Amino acid sequence: MVTKKWILLNNEIMVKNDDEFSLHKDKEAVRSYFLDYVNKNTVFFYTLKEKIDYLIEQEYYIDFYQWYTFEQMQEVYDMVYAKKFRFQSFMSAFKFFQSYALRDDSGEKFLERYEDRVVAVSLFLARGDVKQALEYAEMLINQEYQPATPTFLNSGKKRSGELVSCFLDEIGDNLNGIGYAIDSAMKLSSIGGGVSFNLSKIRARGESIKDVEGRAGGVLPIMKILEDTFSYANQLGQRPGAGAVYLNVFHTDIEEFLDCKKINVDEKVRIKSLSIGVVVPDKFMELAEKDEACYLFHPHTVLKQYGKYLDEMDMDEMYEELVTNPAVKKKKVNARHLMVKIAQTQKESGYPYLFFKGNANRGHALKDIGNVKFSNLCTEIMQISDVSDIEIYGTEDKIRYGISCNLGSLNIATVMDNKRIKEAVKTAMRSLTIVSDITNIAMVPSVQKANKELHSVGLGAMNLHGFLAKNFIMYESKEALDFCNVFFMMVNFYSLQSSMEIARERKETFVGFESSEYANGNYFAQYIAKDIVPVNDKIAALFEGVEIPTAADWAQLMADVKEHGIFHAYRLAIAPNQSTSYIMNATASVMPVVDVIEVREYGDSTTYYPMPYLDNDNYFFYKSAYDMDQKNVLRLISVIQKHVDQGISTILHTNTKDTTRDIAKYYIYAHKMGLKSLYYTRTRKAGIDECVSCSV
Amino acid sequence: MSTKRIIKFEKDDCNPCNMVSEYLDRKGVVYETINPFNQPELAMQFRVRSVPTVILMEQEQELQRVIGFKPEELSALLAS
C-alpha cells in the first residue's frame, strides 16, 4: 500500500536538520490533505443557495428557512468565510474531517467544511436571531470557544442525537428505584449521554431484604446489569454507551467494588467498561492520615436506625455515633490500607476516580438546598441530587433532582490574544443556555426536572499549557499560578454577570435562588474583600489592554445578583476535552501536555502531532506531565478551583517507580489543597523509544 | 589556569544522557548539568534542541558542542 502524501509530509516533521525538527512540514501536510483528499471528496455546489437548499431538501439539515431568509444566512456564511480559517496542524484537520464534518449518506463525500459546521451550529443555536448567530459564528471561527462534542456534532442536523453530554442520577434502595435507574441508563445512553449513578444508597451484600437476613446481593450485581445496559443501548452502533458508578468509601461493599476492576479477578465479578468512582468524605481522609482503624457500615442498618441514608450523613458528625451504635452492622478495616488499596487499583487500572465530598460541599453555593453527593464520568460535574421515590403503577412517583449538564470550553490562548475574555464568556454562556433550553429529556423525569429548574451548564477551558508555553512561561511556575488566579476569576465574574443578565431579561431565576449563597451575598465575600490583579510583571503584560474586574465591580455584581437573581444554578466545570482540543489546536483542558510531539497510530499509518504553538525555541516549555512534580500540578489546579463552582477533571501522571504510597500522598495533598476530585491516574511505562527530545 | 567549562544539558530517564555522563565521569571531567525542561530559558539561550547536548565554553564563547552520545566527538571536544 502506498502511504498517502499528507502522511509522508506529516512524518517529515521528525526529520532533524541542525538538531531542529522540521515542524513547518506539518503545514505542508495540511495543504496536501486538502488538495489531495478533502477537496476531491467534497460535494461541489455552484452557489450557496444551491448548497443550503440541497442540505435541507435532502434532510441533512433542519429547515433553517423557518428562522432565516436566505440573505440572512448568507450574511453569516460570508462573515465566516471572510475570516479565511486555516487548520494549524494536520491532526486538527484530520480530526475534524474524520469525526465531525457532515458526510453524505454513503459516507464517502463531505458535505461540510469547518466553516460550514460553524455556521450550522450558529444558525441552529441562535434560533432566528441573526445578530446572535453572527456573534456565535465569530466566536467559533475565531476558535475562542468550543461546544462539547454532542453540541458541535449534532447542531443543525435533521437526523441527529441530543446536544447534552452528561447525565447523573441517584439510585433508590428498592427494586422500583433500581429499575428506574436501569431504564434511565438505557434511554440516556441511546441518545448519546454519558451517565453516572450513585450506588451508595444500595444496601450491601448480605444485608436483609424484608427483614430476612443475608438476602441482599449488594452493588456488584447492579453494576453488572448497568454495564450490559450501556453496551446494549449504544448510539446506533456508532459510539459505545458510557457509564460510571460511584460508591461511598464507608459502604461495606467498597472492597469488592474496587476489586471488580482488577485484571486478574474472576470473570463473573469483573467490570470492564463501566467506570468507577469512590465518594470520599473528609472523615476517611482524617482516619487515613492518622493511620487509624476505619469502620465500614451496612447502609441498610444505618437507614433503619436513623431514617437517613449513610451517604447523606455528615460523617464528621455521625461517624463515632455509628461506630458505637450496636444496631448498626459494621466491618473494621485499616483506613490507610484501604487507601493504599485504592491507589493499587488505580495503578493497575487507572480507576477509581475520587470524589472529595467535603471539598465539593465547602463553599457550595446551594448548600442550604442540598448536598453534592457524587460526580460524573469525567469528575467535573458537581451538583445537588436527591433520590426519587419510584412507586408502583397507579401511584404517583416523587421525582426529585437528577443532574443534567451541557458543556463547552473556552480556548485560553485565543481569548487572551484577541483580548475577548468578556465577550467570549458571555457569548459562550448564551449558547450553553440555549442548549439547556432546547433540551427536554422527558423520558427521564428526574433529569428533566433538574434541567427545567436549575438550567445548569458547565463552561470550562482548554489550551492552558499551550498558552503558557507560547508565552515562555513554565506550567509549574509561580507566574502560571498568577495567571490562572486572574484569568479564572474573570471567567467566574463574566459567567455570573451573564447569568444575572439572562435572569433579568427573562425575569426568571433557577429554582431555589433565594436560599442560595448568591442571594445572601456570602458567595461574593472572597471577591469584594480585595482586588485580584496580576502580581507578576510578565503576567500583568499579558493582561495589558484588558479590563480586570475590581472588588468594586464585584460589589456591584453582588447587588445586581441580589436584585435580579441568576439563571443557572451551576455555571463552570472544566472537562478533560479530548477530541475537541485537537480541532481547536489546543492542549487539552487545564492539564499539562504528555508529549512534546504526540505519536498516534491510525490503522497502518503513524501520524505526529506537535503540541500547539510548538517551535524550536519554546520546545522545553512543553515539559511532560510525567516529568512534573504532581504537587505542582495539583497546586495550580487548586488555584483554578477557587474560581470554579463545580469541579475540574484532574489527571495524576505517575511513573512506574512511584509506589502506591506515593500515590496515596498525592490524594492527601489534593484533598488538603481543596481539590474536589481526581480523575484517572495514568502511569508511564519506562522506555527509551518514547523519548522524542533525546538524541541518540 | 583554564577558563574553559563544560555544560551538559540532560534529563532524567534518558539513556543517551546517562551514557554521556558515564563517559565524562570515566575521564574524570568536571561539568555542570542543566535540565532544559526545568530551565528552558537557558536552553533557549544556548539554542539547545535536544538532550544530551554537551557544550564546551570559554568565558562566554562557545567552542564546540556535541549532540547525542558520540564518543569520538566527545573525545575531540575534551582534547581541545
Lookup: cell for A615: 517551535
CB-defined contacts A:B, below 8 A: 64
pLDDT (mean) for A230-245: 79
Using the beta-carbon criterion (under 8 Å), do B51 and A623 form an inter-chain contact?
no
Which chain B residue shows the shortest CA-CA distance from A655?
A: B13
Catalytic residues of A: 376, 378, 380
Strands B53-58 and B4-9, sheet pairing = antiparallel
Looking at chain A, the whole-number percentage of residues with pLDDT higher than 70 is 98
Q: Kindly list the residues from chain B whose CB atom is less than 8 angstroms away from the CB atom of residue A683.
A: none
Within 10 A of B63 (CB to CB), how many other CB atoms are there? 12
pLDDT at A180 over 90: yes
With CB atoms and an 8 Å threshold, state whether A693 touches B40.
no
Biggest CA-to-CA distance, chain B: 35
Identify the DSSP state of A99: I
User: At A3, is the pLDDT very low, low, confident or very high (cuts 50, 70, 90)?
Assistant: confident
Contact flag B43-A472 (C-beta cutoff 8 Å): no
How many CB atoms lie under 10 A from the CB of residue A486? Answer: 25
Verify whether the Cβ–Cβ distance A695 to B37 is below 8 Å.
no
> Of A50-59, A501-510, A520-529, B3-12, which range is least confident?
B3-12
Task: Provide the pLDDT for residue B13.
Answer: 82
pLDDT tens sequence across A588-638: 999 999 999 999 888 788 999 999 999 988 999 999 999 999 999 999 999
| Chain B residue numbers touching A618 (CB-CB < 8 A) | 40, 44
Q: Are strands A605-610 and A597-602 parallel, antiparallel or unpaired?
A: antiparallel
Tell me which residue of A361, A388, A363, A409 sits closest to A149, measured CA to CA: A409
For residue A309, is pLDDT > 90? yes
pLDDT in tens, A245-276: 999 999 999 999 999 998 778 887 899 899 99
Nearest to A694 among B16, B44, B48 (CB): B16
Output the pLDDT for position A340: 96
What are the chain A neighbours of B53 within 8 Å (beta carbons)? Answer: 19, 695
Residue A235: which pLDDT band, with cuts at 50, 70 and 90? low
Better-predicted residue by pLDDT, A110 or A189:
A110
A686: which chain B residues are within 8 Å (Cβ-Cβ)? 13
**Is the distance from CB of A103 to CB of A111 less than 8 angstroms?**
yes
Mutate to test the interface with A, among B9, B12, B35, B37 (most CBs of A within 10 A): B37
> Which chain A residue has its CA at the smallest distance from B67's CA?
A695
Q: Pick B44's closest partner by Cβ from A20, A474, A617.
A: A617
pLDDT digits 0-9 by tens, A633-661 = 999 999 999 999 999 999 999 998 899 99
What average pLDDT does range A59-79 have in this prediction? 98
Q: Is the pLDDT of residue B1 over 60?
A: no
* A620 to B48: CB separation less than 8 angstroms, yes or no: yes
Please give the class, per CATH, of domain B4-79: alpha beta
Determine phi and psi for B12, rounding to 5 degrees: -70, 160
Residues of B at the A interface, defined by Cβ within 8 angstroms? 11-17, 36-38, 40-41, 43-44, 48-53, 67-69
- Contact between A187 and A283 under an 8 Å Cβ cutoff? The reply is no
Residues of A in contact with B34 (CB under 8 A): none
**What are the tens digits of pLDDT across the range B6-18?**
999 999 888 899 9
Chain A residues touching residue B38 (CB < 8 angstroms) = 623
pLDDT of res. B6 = 95
Test B11 with A619 for CB contact under 8 angstroms.
Answer: no
pLDDT in tens, A367-389: 999 999 999 999 999 999 999 99
Contacts of the segment A258-263: beta carbons below 8 A, 24+ positions apart: A258/A341, A258/A342, A258/A345, A258/A352, A259/A345, A260/A220, A260/A223, A261/A345, A261/A348, A261/A349, A261/A351, A261/A352, A262/A345, A262/A348, A262/A349, A263/A348, A263/A349
Is A644 in a helix, a strand, or coil? coil
Is residue A406's pLDDT more than 60? yes
* Shortest CA gap B1–chain A (Å): 33
From the CA of A474, how many Å to the nearest CA of chain B? 8
Q: Beta strands B32-34 and B4-9: pairing type?
A: parallel
Contact A474 B17 (CB under 8 A): no
* Chain B residues whose beta carbon lies within 8 Å of the beta carbon of residue A21: 49
Q: How far apart are CA A685 and CA A256, in angstroms?
A: 27
Contact between B36 and A691 using a beta-carbon 8 Å cutoff? no
- What is the pLDDT, as a whole number, of residue A687? 59
**pLDDT for residue A686:** 65
C-alpha A22 chain-centroid distance: 34
- Give tens-digit pLDDT for A433-472: 999 999 989 999 999 999 999 999 999 999 999 999 999 9
Residues 6+ apart with CB under 8 A from A480: A468, A473, A474, A636
**Does A29 score more than 60 pLDDT?**
yes
Residue type, A603: G
Give CA–CA dist A587/A596, Å, rounded: 11
Cell of A553: 465591580
- Residue A544: which pLDDT band, with cuts at 50, 70 and 90? very high
Backbone angles phi, psi at A195, to 5 degrees: -120, 140
% of chain A at pLDDT higher than 90 = 89
A403-411 and A457-462 beta bridge pairing: parallel
Looking at residue A183, its pLDDT comes to: 96
Task: Kindly report the backbone phi and psi dihedral angles of residue A102, in degrees, each rounded to the nearest multiple of 5, phi listed first.
Answer: -65, 135
Query: Are B14 and A618 in contact (CB < 8 Å)?
Result: no
Q: Which residues of A touch B51 (CB under 8 A)?
A: 693-695
* Chain B residue with the nearest C-alpha to that of A684: B13
pTM above 0.90, yes or no: yes
Question: In chain A, what are the domains?
Answer: 171-362 (3.20.70.20)
Beta bridge partner(s), residue A239: A235
Tell me the mean pLDDT in the region A106-131.
97
- Residues A399-434: b if buried by 16+ CB within 10 A, e if exposed: bbbbbbbbbbbbbbbbbbeeebbbbbbbbbbbbbbb
The pLDDT, as a whole number, for residue A234 is 77
Nearest to A694 among B43, B44, B50 (CB): B50
Domain boundaries, chain B: 4-79
- The whole-angstrom distance between A684's CA and the closest CA on chain B is 11
- CA A97 centroid distance within chain: 23
Q: How many CB atoms lie within 10 A of CB A370?
A: 17
Phi, psi of A296 (to 5 degrees): -105, 145
For residue A126, name the pLDDT band (cuts at 50, 70, 90): very high
Least confident of A63-72, A234-243, A483-492, A548-557: A234-243
Which pLDDT score is estimated for A266? 81
- A19 within 8 A of B68, measured Cβ to Cβ: no
Q: Is residue A193 over pLDDT 90?
A: no
Choose the weakest-confidence range: A494-503, A678-687, B64-73.
Answer: A678-687
Contact state of A693 with B13 under an 8 Å Cβ cutoff: no
pLDDT in tens, B14-70: 889 999 999 999 999 999 999 999 999 999 999 999 999 999 999 889 999 999 999
CB contact under 8 A, B52 and A695: yes
Mean pLDDT across A213-225:
94
* CA dihedral for A510, A513, A517, A522, sign (positive or negative): positive
